[in-house]
Amino acid sequence: MHNIILKVWLSALILFLFGCEAKQSDLIKRVAPNQDPFPSTYQIKSHDPFMIVNTSILDGVGNLLKNTDLLIENGKIKEIGVGLPTKNYRLVNGSNFWVTPGLIDVHSHMGVYPAPGTSNHSDGNEMTSPVTAEVWAEHSVWPGDPQFEKALAGGVTTLLILPGSGNLIGGRGVTLKNVPSITVQGMKFPNAPYSLKMACGENPKRVYGNRNMLPSTRMGNMAGYRKAWIKAKEYKKSWDEYLAEDSEIPLSEKPIRDLRMETLSGVLEGEIKVHNHCYRADEMVQMIDMSKEFGYKISAFHHTVEGYKIAPILAKEGICAVMWADWWGFKQEAYDMVRENIALTDYAGACAIIHSDDAIQVQRLNQEIAKAMSAGNRMGLNISPAHALRWLTSNAARSLGLEEKIGSIEIGKNADIVLWNGDPFSTYTKASKVWIDGTLLYDIDKPDLTRTADFNLGIIAPGEKRP
């Protein structure tokens, strides 16, 4: 036994002394680190073209198209129109049904906080340092989380999986297609921009304040972010200078790679989208000033319970506000809830989005926008269902940088489609069929269409419908 250990040590020593590793003085080419070391392996499945006939379409960009046909080919929306020639296409009856784009939840912790919610599964908050920009949510995602398929049954086709809010800068989020897969790479939305989770307010200062370290206050929060951005600017500068020229240089002069700084640098570069958990109006404005101080853009504020208080500012700055319909009171920064938050933010012209942050509500995001719309209409804002659906589709896509691909029923967009068995704003309505890239992944009448999570074997019988 000891012999083996000795042998391993010896071979390691030999490698170290005489190995073919480059020497510090060797000249090397200047290359940026690989920005996609965990590439998506998701493939669009081939499918026969099909047509949903004579249906009501809420297109996600504000229109209701009645008695309309929808042609899907090669995973894309090919044609939209009244009385399209049916040719030899497989036809899907759309009358008495409604069609919407696949729903997008831009704030989910499925996979990183999977079910069962036991401590061994608690992988969403790397609370060992207030700034952990180096961690990537995708490395925590358990693709076998049985909650994913429940969200699919609710029409959710795209998810932004974020780290939790225990840290000032919690790490990278990942955009997933809600498809069954053994690996997270098989779910990753190809070429979707990365995102960075940041968090204001009570959570980080509570977590680290309890450990008697920075941040224990809101001013400590601000100092924590700013220190990180100052370092990130320097880091970015050293890499920019290194990559600016073509000449070969000694290995010793290559900047040292730092994963934490690399992610922040990606934000300063404009490559990574900032999704900033922030409840209070005043703190959001502090965050906006800070983003200008360091020259980055905030894609969206999340939770944004006080969004309505600064809705005109959000509109002017072009920052999306990601909100719940009615959550409140679980902490002080969530005390000033108004049910009209989404409607008022939208009314001010800002990009309003609804999110779940919850594996129960992700199954019924259509009901959540129904409540938000109804609250707005009660105060006379006259919001149509076609308009309200943007909060769950095209606006959400925009915050992810995917507005060219998903979030609407428009020609050329990905065929992420939900066929509802009634008005999507009704409590009684359910998703009847859900397609992602033209592949049928959910059918309310065919529980065996896609396989249930491995976890469910032995719990749900084959072919059993378990709503």
Contact positions vs other proteins (CB under 8 A): 115-118, 146-147, 150, 202, 308-309, 311-312, 326-332, 335-340, 344, 347-349, 358-361, 363-364, 367, 370-371, 373-375, 377-379, 425-430, 455-456, 459, 466-467
Distance CA 333, CA 53 (A): 48
Helix (H, G, I), strand (E, B) or coil at 299: strand
Closer residue to other proteins, CB minimum distance, 47 or 430? 430
CB atoms inside a 10 Å sphere around CB 33: 10
Least distance CB 274 / other proteins (angstroms): 25
Closer residue to other proteins, CB minimum distance, 16 or 428? 428
Distance CA 400, CA 159 (A): 10
The answer to whether the Cα torsion of 201, 211, 107, 139 is positive or negative is: positive
Closer residue to other proteins, CB minimum distance, 22 or 379? 379
Closer residue to other proteins, CB minimum distance, 291 or 429? 429
Q: Which residues of 175-203 are buried (b: 16+ CB within 10 A; e: fewer)?
A: bbbbbbbeebebbbbeebebbbbbbbbbb
Closer residue to other proteins, CB minimum distance, 11 or 217? 217
Least distance CB 218 / other proteins (angstroms): 15
Least distance CB 342 / other proteins (angstroms): 12
Q: Helix, strand, coil proportions of the chain in percent (round to 5)?
A: 30, 20, 45
The phi-psi region of residue 234 (left if phi > 0; otherwise alpha if psi is between -120 and 50; otherwise beta) is alpha
Task: Kindly state the tokens that stand for 350.
Answer: 């800002």
Least distance CB 458 / other proteins (angstroms): 9
CA distances 57 to 95, 149, 369, 413, Å, are 11, 24, 17, 15
CA distances 371 to 244, 296, 427, 451, Å, are 52, 34, 10, 33
Closer residue to other proteins, CB minimum distance, 301 or 425? 425
Least distance CB 101 / other proteins (angstroms): 20
Least distance CB 428 / other proteins (angstroms): 5
Q: Are 234 and 156 in contact (CB under 8 A)?
A: no
Distance CA 119, CA 113 (A): 9
Closer residue to other proteins, CB minimum distance, 90 or 211? 211
Query: Kind and range of the H or E element at 174?
Result: strand 169-177
Least distance CB 53 / other proteins (angstroms): 26
Least distance CB 120 / other proteins (angstroms): 12
Closer residue to other proteins, CB minimum distance, 59 or 340? 340
